[in-house]
Amino acid sequence: MISRTIIPNLSKYMHKSRAIIIYGARRTGKTTILNALAESLNNIHYINCDLIDGQESFNFRNIDEIKLKFGRYSYLLIDEAQRVRDIGIKLKSIIDNLSDLQIIVTGSSALELSNSMIEPLTGRKFEFILTPLSLEELYEYEGIDAVKSGLQQRLIYGSYPEVYLEKTMPEEIIKEIAGSYLFKDMLIYQEIKRPELLRKLLISLALQIGKEVSTTELANTVGLDRKTVEKYLSLMEQSYIIYRLGSFKRNLRNELKRANKYYFWDNGIRNSLINNFNRLEIRDDAGALWENYLITERRKMMLNKRASFEHYFWRTTTQQEIDLIEVENGEIRAYEIKWNPRKKVKFPLAFTKGYELAETYILNRENYLEIMLKGV
All structural domains of the chain, each given as residue ranges with its CATH number in brackets, are 6-130 (3.40.50.300), 135-372 (1.10.10.10)
What pLDDT, on the 0 to 100 scale, is given for residue 114? 58
**Percentage of residues of the chain with pLDDT beyond 90:** 77
pLDDT above 70 (res 375)? no
- At 219 the three-state DSSP class reads helix
Helix, strand, coil in percent for the chain, rounding step 5: 45, 20, 40
Please give the average per-residue pLDDT across 181-210, as a whole number. Answer: 86
Mean pLDDT of the chain: 92
191 pLDDT above the threshold of 80: no
Is the pLDDT score of 118 beyond 80? Answer: no
pLDDT tens, 313-329? 999 888 899 999 999 99
The region of weakest confidence among 137-151, 205-219, 223-237, 252-266 is: 252-266
Spatial contact of 341 and 367, defined as CB atoms under 8 Å apart: yes
Query: Contact, 277 vs 224, CB < 8 A?
Result: no
- pLDDT exceeds cutoff 70 at 110: no
Rounded to an integer, the average pLDDT of 215-229 is 92
pLDDT tens per residue, range 122-164 = 899 999 999 999 999 999 999 999 999 999 999 999 999 999 9
User: Is 157 within 8 Å of 24 (Cβ atoms)?
Assistant: no
Write down the pTM of the prediction.
Answer: 0.94
11-50 burial code (b ≥16 CB/10 A, e <16): eebeeeebbbbbbbbbbbbbebbbeebeeebeebbbbbbe
d(CA 18, CA 95): 7
Binning pLDDT at 50, 70 and 90, where does residue 183 land?
A: confident
Confidence bin at 298 (pLDDT 50/70/90):
very high
* pLDDT tier at 108, thresholds 50, 70, 90: confident
Query: Which residues are paired to 332 by β-bridges?
Result: 327
Q: Are 314 and 325 in contact (CB under 8 A)?
A: yes
Distance of CA 178 to the CA centre of its chain: 15
Which candidate, 204, 1, 29, places its Cα nearest to that of 106? Answer: 29
